[in-house]
Amino acid sequence: MVADHPLSVETLAVKGTSPHYDEGSAVQPIYQTSTFLFQGEVGYENVRYTRCNNGPNHMALSAHIAALENTEAAMVASSGMAAISTALLAFLQAGDHLLMQNTCYGGTYDFVTKNLPAWKISHSLIDASQPNTWKAALKPSTKIIYVESLCNPSSDVPDLQAVVSFAKANSLMSFIDNTFASPVLCRPADLGFDIVLESATKYMGGHSDLIAGSYAGSKRNVQKVSI
Ligand SMILES: Cc1ncc(COP(=O)(O)O)c(C=O)c1O
Written as one letter, the residue type at 182 is S
- The fold of 71-226 is Aspartate Aminotransferase; domain 2 (3.40.640)
Domain boundaries, the chain: 71-226
- 101 Cβ inside 6 Å of ligand 1: no
Backbone angles phi, psi at 160, to 5 degrees: -65, -40
pLDDT (0 to 100) of residue 1: 41
- 71 Cβ inside 6 Å of ligand 1: no
Written as one letter, the residue type at 216 is A
pLDDT (0 to 100) of residue 18: 65
Atom of ligand 1 nearest to the CA of 153: 16
pLDDT (0 to 100) of residue 20: 66
Q: Are 39 and 7 in contact (CB under 8 A)?
A: no
pLDDT tens, N- to C-terminus, the chain (227 residues): 445 667 888 888 887 666 667 788 878 889 999 999 999 999 887 899 998 888 999 999 999 999 999 999 999 999 999 999 999 999 999 999 999 999 999 999 999 999 999 999 999 999 999 999 999 999 999 999 999 999 999 999 999 999 999 999 999 999 999 999 999 999 999 999 999 999 999 999 999 999 999 999 999 999 999 86
Find the 80 Cα to ligand 1 centroid distance in Å: 5
Choose among 57, 80, 82: nearest CA to 200. Answer: 80
